[in-house]
């Protein structure tokens, strides 16, 4: 194959601006690796970049590719890469908005070996949610026996946060819709439904030591109203409100290291963390994949298979 296929968009807009283009297979420069991508997860932040909604913080450059998460097989290595070889199975990330493609070039430092026990779907969608969940839990540093409330507790990030808290012996109040009651209960969390009366339901569930917001600013304000100390309130999304209120706001950039990726991959491969896959789509159906994701009711990850 001399050509690669890659997700592209040429202007801000709705899902209709997404398409797949034939492009030359990129060549790795020194320190880089060409990966033949087997799976690439999609993430809600990408819809914000594509629509222009987060232009101030993450401006688009056109034509734009898309995607951070990836897993695949090393197809070529650049000068100076010594710890990876052609044929190795890897997982990792691109910070060039480029992983949703048949081929991608990334620095070797952004890849780790794929544990044999991980499926391509899981390996290819582990990076963003894995390191973000790790960062969010670390930000509130919960101790055994404490109670932590989590909004969007059964989503891509939330399903890992709930389980990481469980591994620490934390009592988890998982804020979600009734559709996720069974999954949350089966994973040791107490389901608490969002909507009218949430503050009262949380207050009735007992003293809350920390709050991890994975959904939006209304939850940061609720956590402050509940009297939770601000240094034990964390959000991965409401950055402006966090700055105003003096809460924490740590995310993927704070934990994007090979060590954290390896730890999370090891926990999933070892069965200590379940990693739900909600759906897979071929690369060409990227717009359909985002149509599902943008409903904001996904349980687990949606993954593109190039």
Ligand X SMILES: NC(=O)c1ccc[n+]([C@@H]2O[C@H](COP(=O)([O-])OP(=O)(O)OC[C@H]3O[C@@H](n4cnc5c(N)ncnc54)[C@H](OP(=O)(O)O)[C@@H]3O)[C@@H](O)[C@H]2O)c1
Choices 21-29, 93-101, 125-133, 226-234 (CB under 6 A): range interacting with ligand X? 125-133
Nearest to ligand X of 48, 113 (CB atom)? 48
Among 68, 132, 147, 163, binds ligand X (CB under 6 A): 132
Q: Measured between alpha carbons, how far is 63 from 230 in angstroms, rounded to an integer?
A: 41
Nearest to ligand X of 21, 205 (CB atom)? 205
Q: Is 247 in the site for ligand X (CB under 6 A)?
A: no
Q: Minimum CB separation from ligand X for residue 90, in Å? A: 21
Q: Measured between alpha carbons, how far is 70 from 298 in angstroms, rounded to an integer?
A: 19
Among 98, 99, 147, 180, binds ligand X (CB under 6 A): 180
Structural Rg of the chain based on CA atoms? 19
Among 156, 174, 191, 306, binds ligand X (CB under 6 A): 156
Maximum distance among all Cα pairs of the chain, rounded to whole angstroms: 62
**What's the Cα-to-Cα distance from 238 to each of 137, 185, 217, 244, 250, rounded to whole Å?**
16, 27, 5, 10, 10
Q: Is 55 in the site for ligand X (CB under 6 A)?
A: no
Among 12, 23, 299, 305, binds ligand X (CB under 6 A): 299
Nearest to ligand X of 55, 296 (CB atom)? 296
Q: Is 45 in the site for ligand X (CB under 6 A)?
A: yes
Q: Minimum CB separation from ligand X for residue 158, in Å? A: 5
Phi, psi of 116 (to 5 degrees): -60, -30
Choices 75-83, 92-100, 170-178, 261-269 (CB under 6 A): range interacting with ligand X? 170-178
Q: Measured between alpha carbons, how far is 266 from 263 in angstroms, rounded to an integer?
A: 5
Among 20, 43, 68, 102, binds ligand X (CB under 6 A): 43
Task: For CA atoms 77, 83, 87, 88, give the dihedral sign.
Answer: negative
3-state SS of the chain: helix, strand, coil percent to 5?
Answer: 35, 25, 40
Cα 95-98-104 angle, rounded to 5 deg = 105
Positions that interact with ligand X (CB under 6 A)? 43-45, 128-129, 132, 151-152, 154-158, 175-177, 179-180, 194, 214-215, 236-237, 251-252, 293, 296-299
């Amino acid at each position: 194959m001399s050509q690669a296929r890659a997700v592209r968009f040429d202007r801000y807009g709705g899902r209709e601006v997404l398409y797949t283009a034939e492009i030359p297979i990129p060549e790795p420069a020194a320190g880089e690796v060409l990966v033949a991508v087997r799976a690439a997860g999609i993430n809600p932040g990408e819809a914000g970049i594509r629509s222009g909604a987060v232009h101030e913080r993450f401006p688009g450059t056109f034509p734009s590719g898309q995607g951070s998460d990836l897993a695949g097989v090393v197809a070529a290595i650049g000068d100076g890469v010594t710890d990876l070889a052609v044929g190795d199975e890897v997982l990792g990330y691109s910070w060039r908005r480029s992983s949703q493609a048949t081929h991608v070039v990334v620095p070797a430092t952004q890849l780790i070996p794929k544990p044999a026990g991980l499926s391509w779907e899981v390996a290819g969608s582990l990076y963003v949610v894995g390191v973000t969940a790790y960062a969010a839990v670390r930000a509130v540093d919960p101790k055994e026996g404490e109670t932590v409330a989590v909004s969007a507790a059964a989503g891509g990030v939330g399903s890992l946060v709930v389980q990481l808290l469980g591994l620490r012996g934390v009592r988890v109040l998982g804020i979600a819709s009734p559709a996720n009651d069974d999954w949350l209960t089966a994973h040791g969390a107490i389901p608490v439904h969002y909507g009218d009366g949430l503050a009262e339901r949380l207050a009735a569930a007992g003293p809350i030591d920390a709050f991890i917001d994975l959904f939006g600013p209304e939850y940061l304000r609720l956590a402050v109203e509940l009297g939770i100390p601000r240094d034990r309130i964390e959000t991965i999304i409401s950055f402006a409100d966090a700055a105003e209120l003096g809460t924490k706001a740590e995310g993927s950039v704070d934990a994007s290291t090979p060590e954290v990726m390896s730890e999370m991959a090891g926990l999933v491969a070892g069965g200590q963390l379940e990693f739900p896959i909600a759906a897979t789509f071929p690369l060409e159906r990227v717009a359909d994949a985002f149509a599902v994701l943008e409903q904001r009711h996904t349980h687990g990850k949606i993954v593109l298979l190039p």
